[in-house]
Amino acid sequence: MLHEPAAPSGKDPASEYKKRLGVAMFIVYSVIYAGFVLINVISPLTMDLIVFLGLNLAVVYGFGLIILALILALIYNQLCGAKEAQLAEKHNGEER
Amino acid sequence: MSIIIFLILVAFVLVLSFYLGSKTRSAAGYYAAGGQIHWAVNGIAFAGDYLSAASFLGICGMIAVVGYDGFLYSIGYLAGWIVALFVVAEPMKRLGKYTFTDALDSLFGSKAIKLTAAISTLIVSIFYLIPQMVGAGVLVEPLLNIPHWVGVIMVGAIVITIVATAGMASTTYVQFLKGALLVCFSVVLVVALLNRGLSTTPDQGGKVPFHNLAVLAAINTGGNFLPEDASYTFAEQQSIKGHEFVRLIKDEQNSWWMVEDDLAGPMLKEVQWVTARADGATWINGAPAAEDNQLRQVGNLEAIAGKTGAAATTGALNPFQFLALIGHKDTEVQTWNTTSLTNTLNETVTIYYPQITAGNRIMRPGLKFKVEGTPLDRLDFISLMLALFFGTAALPHILIRYYTVPSPACARKSTIVAIAAIGFFYVLTLFMGLGALVNASVNPITNNMSAPLLARSFGEFLFAVISAIAFATVLGTVSGLIVAASGAVAHDILDKFAKVKFTERSKVAAGKVAAVVVGLIAIILGILFRGMNVSFLVGWAFAVAASANLPAILMLLFWKKTTSQGIAASIAVGIISALGLILLSPDMYTRYGLDPDTALVPFSNPGIISIPLSFITLVVVSLLTQKYSKRRQPEEAAA
């Protein structure tokens, strides 16, 4: 009794799809994040370039990483939700 | 007013805790709030848990001193949530029960995993607790006018009460409340800041007249710089870190000055200083320290896009203009450095001296992290960014929040809410930190109070509210950490590892006792580590978490040959290597009172070595122990 999950969850047929999608999106973000780190160590003065409304690359890239994280998160949730709904519908159809 | 708002908040939190505590009887209720928290509430509670003293006090403080380098923490902390969302959130929810050890061990039933993961949870939680307690003391000190150590004890006592009454349930609602308030009032502060605009003579909203630093013309006499003003007598001169500091006497009063070269010739510029006198007394700027004789707050613009004086004052700005003007190549920012010396009277003198930095230098990395330095300096930077990226998804007190929601989909959604709230807040940190830097809102002794002091420049009410929220910030995060640590002791070690026979009630009681013990340890460490930047300390917690936990989590999920022996070994190697590298780093040498240049490890961030080492250990040990593997399928574990 003490070792049960706080809220048990059933089998998730979409888990494999979500796993693949998550890894793909993680790689996309990691590459962009690595680009930020590498520009800083390889060519730090590049971060001084003014790129948008008087803001330099450091600020735009930094804000961009934060905003991109949210955009990718929303896309991920949309795709996962759609797949879960699709598989649930299929499962219900088979049961009927 | 500050005290009243502060007391109202503390009273509310305690009443909430006792109310929820009266409803918490089961272990699931205590350790995971029954697994029934709504995903949106959990998302904001995530933000409340994660936006710790390090985020609010530490990052803003660091930006207020070294500009963009402090914002790197915001970027790294937020980016880490991508790892949590895309890779860790749903699987951890599916596999785990109360603690992240449950998830790691779900496919094996291994005693070694239980023990190493629980120890890792304890170490990471305690590392994370130190900066929270340091931040708490720093915050309460000026707010309630009490010593730092009393503040730390007070916070510890309140948090122990919160956790010991209702565990994860009260912790969740404290975190939700604090997360929402923190984001809302940070917006208020930033709007007020933008509305004020920029000026070269910031006067705390008219309350504190801007202090122009005094300058004396000087004559170079055989290397000694003597003032032209004959009313001053030259006493001594010392050369430190490439700067010349001169002590003068006028009307029997000492003062310290810094030599600067000007077009008109050498000048002596006013500095601030603290003297530890032989009789034990502390003197500030030549007079005994007192409530009305403290170091002046510092930080201002000397020129804005090439303009000085009244012509430079901007009026209200939009967010882009604010950042663009501070980062302009012809903007000059006056920041403050510190050094110490022993004067000819054998007294220790700490000197705080100004230096001018170009705006575009402030707005790109390099003032703290030497990205233009040696290859080792650059590796140190990469190491930090690596630890921040991989640390979030390995923090036990964050991972346990996945067990408070009903399903993996809710875990995912709550992570997205967290990313939105935390990301928005981190954008605000750049404004708040820079705002403190240009509004004379930096305490030269500790930059951790920069954001609350910026709020004070807009009036006592905003200061009181922001300080109370910052205090709640500490309460929320420390509560989460203590729940994680007490879960590691009572659930992972005593129940699962040592097989102590618990009833529901006695297991909750064991968690409460563990919470009290961990809270006491946190209080002691919070007092010992006073003075270090809280965000910097959290960087270490991330490094330990990323090294000890993340390789195990990722490989468990993505590599079928992972064995229990491989996981246990990688956690042990991750902890030992990360801790070892930190303890032998230049920053710790400074803490030991040793010369940091003689440190055995020449960099401060261990992640770049300890994370790969932990991965390699897991792979090698797993390959060597394949025949002993008793790995189950994830479906079996979740069933």
**d(C-alpha B578, C-alpha B224), whole Å:** 48
Residue B621: CB partners within 8 Å, gap ≥ 6?
B563, B565, B566, B569, B570
**d(C-alpha B283, C-alpha B290), whole Å:** 9
DSSP type of residue B232: S
Within a domain: A80: yes
Give yes or no for residue B358 having a pLDDT over 70: yes
Q: Which of B414, B475, B197 is nearest to B324 (CA)?
A: B197
In the numeric block, the tokens 């700067």 are attached to B243
Within a domain: B179: yes
Q: Does B187 touch chain A (CB under 8 A)?
A: no
CB within 8 Å: A69 and B403: no
B211 & B190 share domain: no
**In A, which residues are within 8 Å of B426 by CB distance?**
66
Within a domain: B379: no
What length is written for chain A?
Answer: 96
CB within 8 Å: B363 and A22: no
Mutate to test the interface with B, among A18, A30, A65, A66 (most CBs of B within 10 A): A66
**Lowest-pLDDT choice from B134-138, B295-299, B419-423, B563-567:** B134-138
**Lowest-pLDDT choice from B141-150, B264-273, B604-613:** B141-150
Q: Does B91 touch chain A (CB under 8 A)?
A: yes
Give pairs for B457-463: CB < 8 Å, separation 24+. B457/B202, B457/B204, B457/B205, B457/B207, B458/B189, B458/B192, B458/B196, B458/B205, B459/B205, B460/B1, B460/B2, B461/B1, B462/B185, B462/B188, B462/B189, B462/B192, B463/B2
Give yes or no for residue B22 having a pLDDT over 70: no
Task: Count CB-CB contacts under 10 A for residue B358.
Answer: 15
Residue B245: per-residue pLDDT? 94
Q: Which of B121, B104, B136 is nearest to B553 (CA)?
A: B104
B358 & B425 share domain: no
Q: CA Rg, chain A, in Å?
A: 21
A57 with A49: CB under 8 angstroms? yes
Give yes or no for residue A2 having a pLDDT over 60: no
Q: What is the pLDDT of residues B226-254, one digit of tens each?
A: 999 989 999 999 998 889 999 999 988 89
**d(C-alpha B216, C-alpha A30), whole Å:** 54
**d(C-alpha B412, C-alpha B421), whole Å:** 15
CB within 8 Å: A6 and B426: no
B39 & B67 share domain: yes
Within a domain: B375: no
A72 band by pLDDT with thresholds 50, 70 and 90: very high
Q: How far is A89 from chain B, CA to nearest CA, in Å?
A: 16
Secondary structure (3-state) at B163: helix
B434 & B553 share domain: yes
Sign for the pseudo-dihedral over CA of B98, B99, B100, B101: negative
Within a domain: B320: no
Give yes or no for residue B66 having a pLDDT over 70: yes
Q: What's B510's domain CATH number?
A: 1.20.1730.10
- Which pair of structure tokens corresponds to residue B12? 């509310």
Mean pLDDT taken over chain B: 85
Give yes or no for residue B27 having a pLDDT over 50: yes
Secondary structure (3-state) at B1: coil
In the numeric block, the tokens 């030259």 are attached to B234
Q: Does A87 touch chain B (CB under 8 A)?
A: no
Residue A5: per-residue pLDDT? 46
* Percent above pLDDT 90 for chain B: 32
Q: How far is B503 from chain A, CA to nearest CA, in Å?
A: 8
H or E element that contains B524: helix B504-528
B231 & B189 share domain: no
Q: Which of B248, B163, B17 is nearest to B258 (CA)?
A: B248
B538 & B630 share domain: yes
B422 with B81: CB under 8 angstroms? yes
Give contacts of A 45-64 with B, CB under 8 A.
Answer: 47-48, 53-56, 58-59, 62-63
Expressed as residue numbers, the domain containing B170 is 2-197+386-638
Within a domain: B220: yes
- Which pair of structure tokens corresponds to residue B173? 């609602």
**Lowest-pLDDT choice from B137-141, B512-516, B611-615, B619-623:** B137-141
CB within 8 Å: A37 and B382: yes
Give contacts of A 1-40 with B, CB under 8 A.
Answer: 1-7, 9, 11-12, 15, 18-19, 21-23, 25-26, 29-30, 33, 36-37, 40
Nearest beta carbon to residue A47 from set B31, B83, B364? B364
Q: How far is A95 from chain B, CA to nearest CA, in Å?
A: 21
Mean pLDDT, range B417-436, rounded to an integer: 94
B275 with B283: CB under 8 angstroms? yes
**d(C-alpha B429, C-alpha B451), whole Å:** 9
CA B506 to chain centre: 35
Q: Which of B149, B116, B112 is nearest to B134 (CA)?
A: B149
Nearest beta carbon to residue B366 from set A29, A44, A84? A44
**Lowest-pLDDT choice from B225-234, B387-396, B414-423, B429-438:** B387-396
Q: Does B86 touch chain A (CB under 8 A)?
A: yes
Domain count, chain B: 2
**In B, which residues are within 8 Å of A9 by CB distance?**
93-94, 406-408, 638
In the numeric block, the tokens 């500091």 are attached to B245
Residue B561: CB partners within 8 Å, gap ≥ 6?
B622, B623, B626, B629
DSSP type of residue B374: -
Within a domain: B321: no
Residue A1: per-residue pLDDT? 32
A37 band by pLDDT with thresholds 50, 70 and 90: very high
Within a domain: A55: yes
CB within 8 Å: A26 and B363: no
Within a domain: A1: no
**In A, which residues are within 8 Å of B416 by CB distance?**
70, 73-74, 76-77
B301 with B438: CB under 8 angstroms? yes
- Which pair of structure tokens corresponds to residue B244? 């010349």
Bridge partner list, A55: A52
Secondary structure (3-state) at B268: strand
Within a domain: A6: no
Q: What is the pLDDT of residues B500-547, one digit of tens each?
A: 777 777 777 887 888 888 888 888 888 887 766 666 677 778 888 889
Within a domain: A32: yes
Domain count, chain A: 1
B170 & B250 share domain: no
CB within 8 Å: A6 and B385: no
A7 band by pLDDT with thresholds 50, 70 and 90: very low
Q: For B605, how many CA atoms within 13 A lie in the half-sphere containing its CB? A: 26
**d(C-alpha B613, C-alpha B181), whole Å:** 41
Q: What is the pLDDT of residues B71-101, one digit of tens each?
A: 999 999 999 999 988 988 888 877 766 677 8
3-state percent breakdown (helix, strand, coil) of chain B, nearest 5: 65, 15, 25
Give yes or no for residue B205 having a pLDDT over 80: no
Looking at this predicted complex, what is its ipTM?
Answer: 0.87
B173 & B216 share domain: no
CB within 8 Å: A63 and B427: yes
Q: How far is B10 from chain A, CA to nearest CA, in Å?
A: 29
Mutate to test the interface with B, among A3, A9, A50, A86 (most CBs of B within 10 A): A9
CA B35 to chain centre: 29
CB within 8 Å: A77 and B558: no
Map A5-72 to HEC letters: CCCCCCCCCCHHHHHHHHHHHHHHHHHHHHHHHHHHHHCHHHHHCEEECCEEHHHHHHHHHHHHHHHH
Mean pLDDT, range B316-340, rounded to an integer: 93
Q: Does B28 touch chain A (CB under 8 A)?
A: yes
B587 with B367: CB under 8 angstroms? no
Using alpha carbons only, what angle is made at residue B139 by residues B349 and B369, rounded to the nearest 5 degrees? 65
Residue A10: per-residue pLDDT? 59
Sequential DSSP letters for B593-623: TS-GGG-SSS-S--HHHHHHHHHHHHHHHHH
Q: Which of A26, A36, A27, A37 is nearest to A73 (CA)?
A: A26
Within a domain: B381: no
Sequential DSSP letters for B278-339: TTS-EEETTEE-BTTB-PPPEEEEEEBTTB-GGGG---S--HHHHHHHHT-TT-EEEEEEEE
More confident residue, B555 or B2: B555
Residue A3: per-residue pLDDT? 38
Secondary structure (3-state) at B459: coil
**In B, which residues are within 8 Å of A66 by CB distance?**
74-75, 78, 423, 426-427
Give pairs for B578-585: CB < 8 Å, separation 24+. B578/B543, B578/B544, B578/B547, B578/B548, B578/B606, B578/B607, B578/B610, B579/B123, B579/B544, B580/B606, B581/B606, B581/B609, B581/B610, B582/B540, B582/B543, B582/B544, B582/B606
Residue B97: per-residue pLDDT? 66
B448 & B528 share domain: yes
B508 with A15: CB under 8 angstroms? no
Residue B373: CB partners within 8 Å, gap ≥ 6?
none
**In A, which residues are within 8 Å of B417 by CB distance?**
none
B392 & B528 share domain: yes
CB within 8 Å: B87 and A22: yes
B193 & B228 share domain: no
Expressed as residue numbers, the domain containing A31 is 19-95
φ/ψ of B503, rounded to 5, equals -90, 170
Residue B166: per-residue pLDDT? 58
Within a domain: A10: no
DSSP type of residue B502: -
Residues B423-447, buried b or exposed e (16+ Cβ, 10 A)? bbbbbbbbbbbbbbbbbbbbbbbbb
φ/ψ of B631, rounded to 5, equals -75, 135
**In A, which residues are within 8 Å of B74 by CB distance?**
62, 66
B265 & B150 share domain: no
Q: Does B494 touch chain A (CB under 8 A)?
A: no
Residue B158: per-residue pLDDT? 82
**In B, which residues are within 8 Å of A53 by CB distance?**
320, 324
Mean pLDDT, range B40-48, rounded to an integer: 83
B419 with B85: CB under 8 angstroms? yes
CB within 8 Å: A23 and B419: no
Secondary structure (3-state) at B26: coil
Which amino acid makes up residue B72? Answer: L
B99 with B121: CB under 8 angstroms? yes
